[in-house]
Amino acid sequence: MRNYLGIDLGTANTLVYSRGKGIILNEPSVIAIDQNTGKILQVGLEAKKMIGKTPSNIIATRPLKDGVIADYDVALAMLKYFISQSVGGFNIFKPVVVIGIPTEATEVERNALKEAALDAGAHKAFLIEEAMATAIGAGLNVEEPSGNMVVDIGGGTTEIAIISLGNIVLSKSIRVAGDEIDENIIEYVKNEHNILIGEKTAEKIKMEIGNTFENEENDSLTIDIIGLDVLTGLPKNIPLSGSEIRKAIKKPVSRILENIKLAIESTPPELLSDVVSKGIFLGGGGAMLKGMKELIEKETHIRVVIADEPLTCVARGAGLVIDKIEIIENLSKNR
């Protein structure tokens, strides 16, 4: 009768996996609150639609930053809502939840997330490193004595790890991912075109013409956007090209690549041999960025495999690990 939930409480989106049912919730990690009354107005997709369009008394905000809780009370309210939606209203059996967390989150950040889950109505709450959850969600046999390399490019962080025998052998967690790519697009459009755009427009640009690998197909991508001309104070429509956006996001993409290479350089030779044989497994929203697979392959000389349904890997892995509770216990002991 008890629900077992795997939760990817991401900076950009929250996904919930229910054992036996699969992904049952996929919503933006956004909550809209009336500041005068403290009342929650909307959560998830409807709240995201309100970003940048609210009156002064209403704030639509994302309570997580860089993959961890930035505003505890608001994150708690959002988590309560998502857990309630997932268990289907009244249920006398509180759910057991496993939540993904960045590898290099501090002890304070870990405790805050665990306490938030318990306060939000969980019977028990476990944490699992997002890289491990990604590997399990991608279908890798993490318990065998063989090296697996995973790279999860999320909204707030990029998680890079080498996994063997149910443990993380080495890992890198950098707070450079989808959000910073969006910020770089906003900055580029402002500096190069004197146009102000918001985060939703930047995200649309990234999803439609964002790319990291130079070829004719990516260069031919175009999009028309409307922004505020900083010189006239009036709206202006401008076209953007794929080559422009590749240039705009070069800095954060280069940092991700640099850390992937550093992880490879630090990998023990026997495990590296396994990685070369199996390939690098790529998950998260960044896996869907055009040319990311090809760019990593070019820079590392290692085959890259995009996980099935890369956006849901962490949630699925967190849910599936409930049947492998010893993995969570190992991670807790060896952290």
pLDDT in tens, 37-76: 888 899 999 999 888 788 888 888 899 888 788 888 888 8
292-300 vs 250-265: helix crossing angle, rounded to 10 = 40
Mean pLDDT over residues 203-221, rounded?
95
Q: How far is residue 322 from each of residues 47, 95, 146, 160, 230, measured CA to CA in Å?
A: 31, 12, 22, 22, 52
User: Span 178-250: which CATH code?
Assistant: 3.90.640.10
Domain spans of the chain? 4-132+315-334, 145-176+253-309, 178-250
Predicted TM-score (pTM) of the model is: 0.89
The answer, yes or no, to whether residue 235 has pLDDT greater than 60, is yes
Query: pLDDT value at position 1?
Result: 65
Q: Is 49 annotated as a binding residue?
A: no
**pLDDT(213) > 70:** yes
Q: Any known ligand binding at 204?
A: yes
- Phi-psi map region of 41: left, alpha, beta (phi>0 left; psi -120 to 50 alpha): alpha
Residue 206 labeled ligand binder: yes
pLDDT classification of 3: cutoffs 50, 70, 90: confident
Q: Is 203 annotated as a binding residue?
A: yes
Residue 247, pLDDT above cutoff 60: yes
pLDDT of residue 233: 94
Does the structure show a pLDDT above 90 at 265? yes
* 66-115 confidence digits (pLDDT tens): 878 888 888 888 998 898 888 876 567 889 899 999 988 889 989 999 99
| CATH code of the domain made up of 4-132+315-334 | 3.30.420.40
Same CATH fold assignment for domains 4-132+315-334 and 178-250: no
Percentage of the chain beyond pLDDT 90 is 70
pLDDT at 71: 87
pLDDT higher than 90, residue 191: yes
Was 13 annotated as part of a binding site? yes
When the pLDDT of each residue in the chain is averaged and rounded to a whole number, the result is 91
**What is the CA 290 to chain-centroid distance, rounded?**
17
The pLDDT confidence band at residue 335, using thresholds 50, 70 and 90, is low
Residue 157 counted as an annotated binding residue:
yes
What would the CATH number be for the domain defined by 145-176+253-309?
3.30.420.40
Q: How many residues does the chain have?
A: 335
250 is in an annotated binding site: no
Residue type, 248: A
216 is in an annotated binding site: no
